[in-house]
Amino acid sequence: MEVTDVLESLKIGKITVSEAKKLLSLYSIEKIEDFAQIDMGRKHRKGIPEVIFAERKTPDEIKKIIIRVMEKSNSVLISRIQKKDYSGIVKFAKAKRLKIKDGKNTTTLLIYKNTLKNTGGSVGIVTAGTSDIGVAEEARLTCEAMHCNTITTYDVGIAGMHRIFPIIKKFIESDVDVIIVAAGMEGALASVVSSLVNVPVIGLPTSVGYGYGEKGVAALASMLQSCSLGLSVVNIDNGIGAGAVASNIANLARRR
């Protein structure tokens, strides 16, 4: 039972105050055997749903967490599933009659029960190259889990500067509240976009690149050193983090 369901039941007298208190206490933290404690209250505190970091978890552990989370929530994000386990997790979710949103070039999944309505703000997502798409898609799935509308455009890096201007125009016409820019190599696209718009920009450096400053180090340093005001930066390949902060900004903007 979700927190809103508990409160609605209390409001109509279906449960007592003591019963509601007990249900809310049980809802806050859920322990799964001896390997996981999930924070069921995060969505109501921060607007961010539970995220399962699957990279070092076994398929059995992932499945157990999915079951427990979905007993009390409408959605869960599963980040960075190992490729060899990906199809098995998808089949498991479908067997449980759960709905799935996936992304291009990423093993991150958004699993949910009921329709995810776009009741929040609007987030623009852009990548410098096609190699950055997987991380950007992880950010997109996070935004959609947080009920944001997303507008995505990929492969518009500064190697062909003319490509970015129609995209900026599209974002402005669509009245986006915030923009995520995923870029590897030297990461310059984030500074360029930030200099052209009047909304916050989240720089998402990716581990695309080689030689000096390889694996996203140059992109991260470039974004952190940007002269363009209004640009904030998350860690290398942190699509979940970029999506979460962008959605919080967008949802707050739409509530005002």
Tens digits of per-residue pLDDT, 59-111?
999 998 898 888 878 889 999 999 999 999 999 999 999 999 999 999 999 99
Number of Cβ within a 10 Å radius of residue 83: 8
Query: What is the SS3 assignment for 153?
Result: strand
Prediction pTM value: 0.82
- Contact call for residues 197 and 172 (beta carbons, < 8 A): yes
Distance of CA 42 to the CA centre of its chain: 14
179-185 mean pLDDT = 94
Whether residue 216 is predicted with pLDDT greater than 90 in this model: the reply is: yes
From first CA to last CA, the distance across the chain in angstroms is: 29
What is the radius of gyration, based on Cα positions, of the chain? 20
Give dist(CA 243, CA 235) in Å, integer: 12
Strand ranges, E, within 84-146: 99-101, 109-112, 122-127
Instruction: Report pLDDT digits (tens) over 159-176.
Output: 888 888 999 999 999 999
CATH number of this structure's domain 122-251:
3.40.50.1970
Mapped onto helix, strand or coil, the DSSP state of residue 65 is: helix
Is residue 12 predicted with pLDDT exceeding 90?
Answer: no
Segments making up each domain of the chain, as ranges = 28-112, 122-251
Task: Compute the mean pLDDT over every residue in the chain, rounded to the nearest whole number.
Answer: 87
Contact partners, residue 4, CB within 8 Å, separation at least 6:
none
Give 151's strand partners: 124
Torsion of CA 75, 79, 85, 90, to 10 degrees: 30
Burial of residue 78, with CB atoms counted within 10 A of its CB: 0-12 exposed, 13-18 middle, 19 or more buried: buried
* pLDDT > 90: percent of the chain: 58
Report how far residue 221's alpha carbon sits from residue 224's, in angstroms, rounded to the nearest whole number: 5
In this predicted model, which residue has the larger pLDDT, 25 or 15? 15
Q: What is the pLDDT of residue 244?
A: 94
User: Nearest-5° angle of CA 191, CA 193, CA 195?
Assistant: 70
